[in-house]
Amino acid sequence: MILELQNAILEMIAKGEPLAATIEQLCLKVEAAVPGIIASVLTFDGSRLHTLAGPSLPPDYSAAVDNLEAGPLAGSCGAAAYFGEAVVVTDIETDPRWQDFKSLVLPLGLKACWSSPIKRGERVIGSFAFYYRDHRGPKALERDLVEACVHLCTIAIDREERVMERQRLTYSDALTGLSNRARFNQLLAEDLPRSGRAWGILLVDIDNLKLVNDTFGHAAGDALIQVVADRVATTAGSQNTFRLGGDEFAVIVSDDKDLDLNARATDILKALSSPSTCDGHVVFPAATIGGALAETETNPDQTRQNADLALYHAKEHNRGRYVQHYPGLGTALTRRFRAVRDVGVALEDDRIDAHYQPILRLDTREIVGFEALCRMTTPSGEIIAAAHFHEATKDAHIAAELTQRMLLRVARDIRSWLARGLPLQHVGINLSAADFRGGNLQDRLCRIFGEAEVPLKHIILEVTESVYLGQRDYVVADEIKALRSKGLRVALDDFGTGYASLTHLLTVPVDIIKIDKSFIDRMVPGDAGTFIVEGLIGIADKLGIRVVAEGIETELQAVQLSQLGCKLGQGYLFSKAVDRTVAAAILEQHGQRLDQDKTRAGAL
């Protein structure tokens, strides 16, 4: 009988059956083998007992003894757990150990109880009890049976604790003790869709963690993460707070009624606002939060994506504050994500290349240079202009990678054209704010063109007004001054569309201004655009700044510009951007060849 019992229970343990179901079967099989007894198993956490199985006991009784504090007068089971020894009570009614509990058990017709501790080594992890309907203690056969049952319970509970520990390690974050991304994903996939409750997600992103790491060290950064984790968990509840990794946390908010994510987010931001000492340094924790409510028509993954979009938007426009997702918010951001992904793949597949649009003298139509324009070839072979993936350049990493690719291509092409003796004067290369923020632009330019043996006099850096003039900390302006000292020239691109002010031309060091196409398009009778263009050309000429008119599409525009004193232009009237082979051919045929007898009036 004992062997059959062991085999049955060990098979359930080996199959990974739930602990409660396994021990319940153990109790039922023992009760079937020993008529007249009732079996019960409690677990012990070192202080209190918790009901695990007692299938033949009334639920009210099992609930009453659940969470019972162990002690010398805490019934048979409480005393057995307390002393770590078997306790036999042959008369519950008169035994002092049952004084506080006999009113619960006597009405059930139970008169005696024998409880044995379940141990792992010397540590008590539970109790196994037989209740009797007679005033008696255990018989010899029952002692052998209970010894086997206690051993089986030890195996089952030990396995359960090991499984729970593995789950704890799998689903918890080592640094903060919070549940981790795996547990968060599990809840999204399994629990929340079936909860039937209103719910939403808050994504909390720590501000300036990298700055703390770089300034005070990673110990301070880890301490900051722990501070934020504690404050968010205290505010939102530790069971609802997750560390997704790095500087990002998630909070799942659920309620039977309408949710107010804004109020929850405000509470979190307020809790974070007070200073904290992190590894000996005073740090002011701050965070940016994005949130989204689960809608009936959206699945959990979509809710998570909506919260991501809200956080992305908040980090760009409302850092340190909360932004909640709303319909339409994701359109531009989704477009950017898609563009970043497509450009990233194109860079890996070597489908990003330089095309060249000629810049010509308007009087002779000779080519004096090119503007290098970024082009992406799709997997199907279609060539896409940069305007169609401009959103990707707002990602600093992608922008830097694109510039690096363009610099390498342009350097190689210029070297090839110079080696062939083609009359190349210059190539303009567009730079973004991210290129200046990287901190090593000058070194990159000098290294790339130096290795290609391309003199810097052939390079013109094209910078838009929004990049050049929109920086309050003067990083871009200072870097451009340094680059000009190396022999590079600078063109202010799309002039008139950004922070245009004629006073800037007195203080900003530029060699060329490129009048935006929007002004050229307005050069029609009666439009003020003509007077603006004329004024710009006159002022630039007096300041010694060259002017290039962009976007020339008609012969009339070219003639008008020439009459106004503009000497250089580019646009579809002359040529679209072409690949390097075509660029070399038209340069050889139409390039301006400078010599001592020819004026340099049209050259840049």
Would you say residue 34 has pLDDT above 80? yes
Whether residues 223 and 80 share a domain: the answer is: no
Cross-strand bridge partners of residue 116: 128
Residue span of the structural domain in which 546 resides: 338-345+352-590
pLDDT of residue 599: 46
For 249-258, 302-311, 554-563, which range has the lowest pLDDT when averaged over its residues?
249-258
Q: Are 356 and 580 in contact (CB under 8 A)?
A: yes
The confidence band for 256, taking pLDDT boundaries of 50, 70 and 90, is low
pLDDT over 80 (residue 391) = no
Task: In whole angstroms, give the CA distance from residue 588 to residue 604.
Answer: 18
Q: Cα separations (Å) of 259 from 105, 156, 302, 564?
A: 46, 42, 18, 64
User: In the structure, what pLDDT confidence band is assigned to residue 584 with cuts at 50, 70 and 90?
Assistant: very high
Three-state SS sequence of 213-263: HHHHCHHHHHHHHHHHHHHHHHHHCHHHEEEEECCEEEEEEEECCCCCHHH
Question: Which range among 185-189, 222-226, 299-303 has the greatest average pLDDT?
Answer: 222-226
Tell me, what CATH number does 36's domain have? 3.30.450.40
Q: Does residue 451 have a pLDDT over 80?
A: yes
Q: Are residues 286 and 388 in the same domain?
A: no
For residue 536, is pLDDT > 90? no
Could you tell me if 406 and 319 lie in one domain? no
- The model's confidence at residue 505, banded by pLDDT at 50, 70 and 90, is low
Cite the DSSP H helix spans in 249-299. Answer: 261-272
pLDDT of residue 186: 86
| 296 and 189 in a common domain | yes
* pLDDT at site 395: 75
Residues 431, 515 within the same domain: yes
- Count CB neighbours of 196 within 10 A: 9
**Residue that finishes a domain, picked among 258, 293, 327:** 327
* CATH code of 360's domain: 3.20.20.450
Could you tell me the two tokens for 188?
């999204």
Same domain, 487 and 539: yes
Helix (H) or strand (E) holding 520: helix 517-520
* Confidence band, pLDDT 50/70/90 cuts, at residue 74: very high
Q: What is the mean pLDDT of residues 446-470?
A: 86
Greater pLDDT, 111 or 318: 111
Tokens of 347: 């860079």
* Residue 139 vs residues 27, 142, 341, 359: alpha-carbon distances, Å: 18, 5, 75, 107
Calculate mean pLDDT across residues 287-306: 85
Q: What is the pLDDT of residue 477?
A: 74
CB 39 within 8 A of CB 130: yes
Of 273, 293, 327, the residue that ends a domain is: 327
- For residues 119 and 193, state if they share a domain: no
Among 169, 204, 239, the domain boundary falls at 169
Confidence band, pLDDT 50/70/90 cuts, at residue 469: low
Asked whether residue 600 is assigned to any structural domain, the reply reads no
* pLDDT given for residue 255 in this prediction: 77
CATH number assigned to the domain comprising residue 313: 3.30.70.270
CA distance 526 to 67: 90
Is residue 6 a part of any domain in this protein? yes
Residues 86 and 198 in one domain: no
Q: What are 112-135's pLDDT values in tens digits?
A: 999 999 998 889 999 999 999 999
Q: What is the mean pLDDT of residues 554-569?
A: 94
pLDDT at position 596 over 50: no
What's the mean per-residue pLDDT of the chain? 88
Q: Is residue 513 located within the same domain as residue 387?
A: yes
Q: CA 497, 501, 507 angle in degrees (round to 5)? A: 125
Structural domain tally of the chain? 3
Considering the domain architecture, whether residues 139 and 92 belong to the same structural domain is answered as yes
pLDDT at position 214: 85
Confidence (pLDDT) at 601: 47
Higher-pLDDT residue of 482 and 72 is 72
Residue 6 tokens read as: 């062991």
Q: Of 206, 185, 197, give the one whose Cα is nearest residue 268.
A: 206
pLDDT score for 92: 95
- 598 inside domain: no
For 491, the token pair is: 């063109």
Same structural domain, 153 and 280: no
In a domain, 597, yes or no: no
**Residue 20 is assigned to a structural domain of this protein:** yes
> For residue 516, is it within any domain?
yes
CB under 8 A, 24+ apart: contacts of 578-586: 578/355, 578/356, 578/357, 579/353, 579/355, 579/356, 580/354, 580/356, 580/413, 580/416, 583/355, 583/356, 583/358, 583/370, 583/413, 584/416, 584/417, 584/420, 584/422, 586/358, 586/367
**Within a domain: residue 476?**
yes
Same domain, 398 and 530: yes
Kindly state the average pLDDT of the residues 233-237.
93
Is 446 exposed, middle or buried (CB count within 10 Å of its CB: 0-12, 13-18, 19+)? middle
pTM, full prediction? 0.53
- Indicate if the pLDDT at residue 194 is higher than 80: no
Asked, for residue 604, whether it belongs to a domain, the answer is no
pLDDT (0 to 100) of residue 315: 84
